[in-house]
Amino acid sequence: MIGLEHYLIVSAILFSIGLVGVLRRRNLLMLFFATEVMLNAVNIAFAAISHYYNDLTGQMFAFFIIAIAASEVAVGLGILIVLYKKYGSLDLDDLASMKG
């Protein structure tokens, strides 16, 4: 039987994968993918817990997150395209211009 803890474990694993992606990747596009993975990890946790408590609020929240993630990607990709046109690269090591 697949219980709540299984969902949560999947969610945690997915989140960790996303986090490692955010931390290790140098390419901005990859960073975006990694954040998407993390967001969807959270969505899984929301949906699972929502079902567990018989409360639809969590699932509603998951939809919200999906909607926000979609708009974020739309805006973010736009910015990435502009960045690529300007610098010819999406590698973070090449984009460091504000050194303290």
Residues of the shown chain interacting with another protein in the complex, contacts defined by CB under 8 A: 19, 22-23, 25-26, 28, 31, 92-93, 95-100
CA 62, chain centre distance (Å): 13
Task: Output the smallest distance, CB 97 to another protein, in A.
Answer: 6
Task: Output the smallest distance, CB 93 to another protein, in A.
Answer: 6
Q: Which is nearer to another protein, 54 or 99 (CB)?
A: 99
Task: Output the smallest distance, CB 70 to another protein, in A.
Answer: 22
CA–CA distances in Å: residue 84 to residues 18, 27, 51, 75:
23, 11, 43, 14
Q: Which is nearer to another protein, 31 or 45 (CB)?
A: 31
Residue 38: burial class (beta carbons within 10 Å; 0-12, 13-18, 19+): buried
- CB atoms closer than 10 angstroms to residue 93: 8
Q: Which is nearer to another protein, 34 or 62 (CB)?
A: 34
Task: Output the smallest distance, CB 96 to another protein, in A.
Answer: 4
